Amino acid sequence: MFFTETKDHGDVDTDQELTFTCAVRRSAAGFAANANNAQQSAAPIDGVTYVIEGSASLSGTWNSPVSYIGKSDAPPAGSGLPL
């Protein structure tokens, strides 16, 4: 399940960033950039390795940098998911 929003995350500019929030297993901590600029979970959880990739055009190669901005046990506002 993914949720999106556009907002400035207080980085070096005031540009709006597209933010995807996705639900992953609680034990999937330790995301880091891999060789393809994607964010990847450090270890498989129940046989699943999470890889979050990005593309500026949504076609061709998925090689746009993706940033991990944190985790939360609270669901995204407006998602309707329980706490």
Which one has a higher pLDDT value, 72 or 33? 33
pLDDT in tens, 17-31: 788 888 788 777 678
Indicate the pTM of the whole model: 0.65
What is the C-alpha to C-alpha distance for residues 78 and 48, in angstroms, rounded to an integer? 28
In the chain, the amino acid numbered 75 is P
Q: Is the pLDDT of residue 45 over 80?
A: yes
Q: What pLDDT does 76 receive?
A: 75
The domain ranges of the chain are 1-74
The stretch 50-65 carries a mean pLDDT of: 81
Q: In the predicted model, is pLDDT for residue 41 greater than 80?
A: yes
For strand 51-52 and strand 39-40, is the pairing parallel, antiparallel, or unpaired? antiparallel
